[in-house]
A and B are shown apart, each in its own frame.
Chain A
Amino acid sequence: MIDELRSVGERVIEKALGMGFDEAAALLHYREASMAKYANSEPSVIQGWRERSVNIYVAKDRRILFTGGSVQSLEDIIGMLEQLRKVAPKVSESMLYAPLPEPGEVKPLQGLVDSKVVDLVYDLSPASEALFEAANRERIDSFAGMFEAAHEYRVVMTSTGVDLAEEGTSIETYIRAFAGEGSGQWSLGSRSYNRENVERVAETAAHYAVLSRHQEDVEPGEYNIVLSPMVVGDLFNYIVRMASAASVLMGTSMFAGKKPGEKIASDAVTIYDDARETGLPGSRSFDDEGVPTRRNPVIERGVFKTLLHNTKTAAKMGAESTGNAGLLMPRAWNIVVEPGSYSFDELVEEAGNGFLVTNNWYTRLQNYVEGVFSTITRDAVLIIRDGEIAGAARKFRIADSFPRLLKNIAALGSEVHDIYWWEVRVPTRTPYILARGVKTSKHTG
């Protein structure tokens, strides 16, 4: 398959240069994937995909142009390239133009392919059966969720001589369990399939559902809140996406105006974007420009360290690429939060009085530059009284700002969890985290 993709890439680059473009890059994918979706404790649909796609970057006299689509439509796409070639002189130079990078020394990553996942692409039923069995170990009413297995090849070729290929497998699964008034949800993303880890997703969801079966109303205010890895994954996805230099340029970042070296979080906080963490599905040895990836500290011991760059934003902002291309805009690959030293029980004890929020959704910002957001809890919110779990609460919102939240992080758990689901699209490895004085809100009537 890689040879097939490479031959498409060679053709595209040759065609583009033949048309008179100065530079060309082709990013090609082949993906086979299957997904079982569950609802009311039964499968609702089994989906499958086989697709080949090509994304093409071309430049002419510092004008940047893109096209792409299905490989099946290659002739149409080449036709679009010809149209772009005619249009190129009519649009002005791109503010983001920088020459495509020369080939770098890429250190291949090991362990990106698991043959068990390849098998699951063709028959998901072993994973479905494992989840069904594990979810029902506790006395729940029903569960919903999904399991996806994927096998992907990606190729990057450029007119500067980059010619790289990588193969990988991944799984994504999450289960939401319901019990009485309560519910619990948990997820997992990985390059490999381990039945015990998958079963633990269903067990954790069921556990939290049962714990929140009976709920009480609580008043909004400022509380110490233990954020579960599901919640940290959601909130830190927003924060790390805002660390993309593209977000700063577009006016959608709380890092606008911040300089590396500035203290922006408590000493306890260290967040990496780590493409080289092979346990997580975003891992890769080179980015979409062919630049070798690396582990980038976004925040280290509370200090803002770097934005995420490709060569274009790096040139624009006087930095160097961090291996996070996007052909046009940089993006995060895997978020890794450095764990602390607290056991789960110690975190709850440290919280004293407050809540454990196990899941949230619908995070939205009033103002990206100021990082002002609200998000609403879903699933178990457990009440912490005198350092112990003492019941479950009905939904409320966390309505605060990211800068304030980062400064109020007081303690981190020692055990990490790999989160990847519908609301957390950049795979995130994180422990439970305690934040103090978190502002909450609730409907007034």
Chain B
Amino acid sequence: MTWDTEDLVLYAVEKGLELGASYVEARYHARRGSSLSTRNGAIIGLGSSFEEGVAVRVVYDGALGFSSTDIITREGLDNIISQAVSQARAHAELMKEKIEFSDERLGRASYKVVQKKSFDEFGHEEKARYLQDLWKTVSSSIKEARVAALVSVIGESVEEKILATSDGAFVKSYTPRVSFMYNVVVTLPSKGSVQKWLPYSAVGGYEWLDVWDPLGKLPEALKIYERILLEAKKPPLGEPVDVILGSEVVGLAVHESCGHPSEADRILGREAAQAGKSFIKPESLGQRIGSRYATVIDDPTIPGSNGFYLYDDEGVPARPRYLYKEGVINEFLHNRWTAHVFGVNSNAAARAMNFESEPIVRMSNTYMEPGDMEFEELLEDVKKGVYIKSYMEWNIDDERWSQRYGGLEAYLVEDGELKGLVRNPVLEVTTRKFYSSIDAVDKNLEFYAGTCGKGEPAQGVPVWFGGPNVRLRNIVLRVIGQ
């Protein structure tokens, strides 16, 4: 008999049940991709990869076991199922509360993301030419400062999954993804250097490169970085000012200080030794965290988005999650285990990076809801303030309460107008201060790509984060180096 992959996934589920597991989940997970990298227009190398394997998860006597292998045969699966069951059994007596999963209406479906411009339409030769043209354009875009290094990478990948669970889920998916990233260093010996790293990534095909348009946008960005070195002044310090944050900063802030603390597994302490705990507690639902403008949504169903999926890795249908709604903590991100603990339904936040990874609670595409104002209206009644358009350095504590963003492109605002550039302003505030200080958001929603890290072993999953431009009142800024 010939065993194809679907049969093997279903076989793994049956085998786990035979060994006494109360829940079994098997996932075939393959990722293939390639990337071309350059430095200052010169090719570094062309790489490709193909990884595939099967992961199984079992609940045995209330303990959770996970095992994976790249040996996709009956024998290979027999080994990992036995291992998952036996390791779970060996730890069952250390369990205080048995693991159970919520009952869900699970998917039986297959979906495929369609590319407008396929990988074949943008071959490696064209990619190499594109990146070489980028260097030519970028290196001649500034006159006084110098581009010390421009590393740029174009990548493409396809992710394929087949998921089956012992309670009836069966979901197949096919997801192509393209990416572009650069790291640029602009130097002027007497003034130091400015550095910017920026990744782009989305689900679909090379139509996205036209949207990102690095050939058009990067030279303009470099002119700004040169001006930062030449002209930027110290930001206003020591007194409260108004701060307008660009959507790049807002996106990161909502990812870090709304998305992460809303992960129900973190709230329950499952990541306490790694990514940390959360300032949000199980009883925090309904509590106010910010002004009425603070609505943050996590939505895996945005077409083309980097964090796109229609069913999560436990087979639950995806939907938008309103994490903060008009300033109130509204909903957590759940998988089937946390949903059971909280007595709710899963909202399909379980994701696994690859076949070597257990599905855990993750964000997808997290953004602040835009309003209907123009950007100019945000500026209008600012007497004194700073507009922080982009960032480099950032961090947040492990309960997601104290956050910091080091501004890169930033401007002084006086009497409703953008004045000159300011260098290295730092927004360093608590999460409550951040969301409570928002008094206006504009209508210009933009998304940025990232790879979100969590779990043990650490898993990086593709996400978008974004938002409109946002105005915060009465913020005391810091500056890097002081």
Contacts and interface: CB of A to CB of B under 8 A. Distances in A.
Interface of A: 34-53, 63-73, 76-77, 80, 83-84, 87, 90-96, 122-125, 128-129, 132, 142-146, 174-176, 178, 185, 249-252, 256, 328, 361-370, 372-378, 395, 397, 399, 401, 422, 439, 441-445
Contact of A445 (B69, B192, B358, B433): B433
B187 A369 contact: yes
A77 B52 CA distance: 11
B50 A77 contact: yes
B273 A39 contact: yes
A52 B79 CA distance: 14
A372 B46 CA distance: 32
B422 to A, nearest CB: 14
Contacts of B47: 65-67, 328
Q: How large is the interface on B (under 10, 10 to 19, 20 to 34, 35 or more residues)?
A: 35 or more
Contact of B402 (A174, A367, A443): A443
B91 A43 contact: yes
Nearest to B407: A366
B91 A370 contact: no
B94 A42 contact: yes
Contacts of B429: 443-445
Contacts of B358: 45, 47
Contacts of B404: 374, 376, 397, 441, 443
Given A43-B64, A68-B48, 16 more contacts: A45-B64, A46-B64, A67-B48, A70-B70, A72-B70, A76-B32, A87-B125, A92-B128, A95-B44, A178-B272, A251-B184, A256-B148, A362-B398, A378-B397, A422-B274, A445-B476
Max chain B C-beta neighbours (<10 A), residue from A94, A96, A361, A367:
A367
B53 A51 contact: yes
B91 A46 contact: yes
B190 to A, nearest CB: 14
A266 B172 CA distance: 58
Interface stretch (B82-90, B204-212, B378-386, B443-451): B82-90
B194 interface: yes
A39 B45 contact: no
A72 B53 contact: yes
B94 A68 contact: no
B49 A67 contact: yes
Contacts of B63: 43, 46
Interface of B: 32, 36, 39, 42-53, 63-72, 76, 79-80, 83-84, 86-88, 90-91, 94-97, 123-125, 128, 132, 148-151, 183-185, 187, 192-195, 268-274, 276, 356, 358, 392-398, 402-404, 406, 408, 424, 426, 428-430, 433, 456-458, 475-478, 480-482
A444 B237 CA distance: 11
A394 B76 CA distance: 50
28 contacts: A39-B270, A40-B270, A40-B272, A42-B95, A45-B66, A48-B65, A48-B84, A49-B67, A49-B356, A63-B46, A64-B44, A64-B45, A69-B50, A72-B70, A92-B43, A93-B43, A128-B94, A251-B149, A251-B151, A252-B183, A328-B47, A364-B395, A366-B195, A367-B193, A370-B192, A422-B273, A443-B403, A445-B430
A324 to B, nearest CB: 17
Given A38-B273, A92-B43, A95-B39, A443 B433 contact: yes
A91 B128 CA distance: 6
A250 B96 contact: no
Contacts of B426: 441
B70 A71 contact: yes
A249 B149 CA distance: 8
A119 B195 CA distance: 48
A341 B124 CA distance: 57
A91 B90 contact: no
B428 A48 contact: no
Contact of A35 (B96, B457, B481): B457
A132 B94 contact: yes
Nearest to A40: B269
A439 B426 CA distance: 15
B440 to A, nearest CB: 19
A76 B50 contact: yes
Nearest to B427: A444
A328 B46 CA distance: 11
B445 to A, nearest CB: 25
Nearest to A366: B393
A48 B357 CA distance: 10
A50 B124 contact: no
A7 to B, nearest CB: 16
Nearest to B402: A443
A48 B67 contact: yes
B13 to A, nearest CB: 18
Contact of B71 (A38, A50, A90, A370): A50
B31 to A, nearest CB: 9
A64 B476 CA distance: 51
Nearest to B42: A95
A395 B270 CA distance: 21
Contact of A49 (B69, B90, B123, B397): B69
Contacts of B84: 46, 48
B356 A372 contact: no
B270 to A, nearest CB: 5
A366 B395 contact: no
A84 B49 CA distance: 11
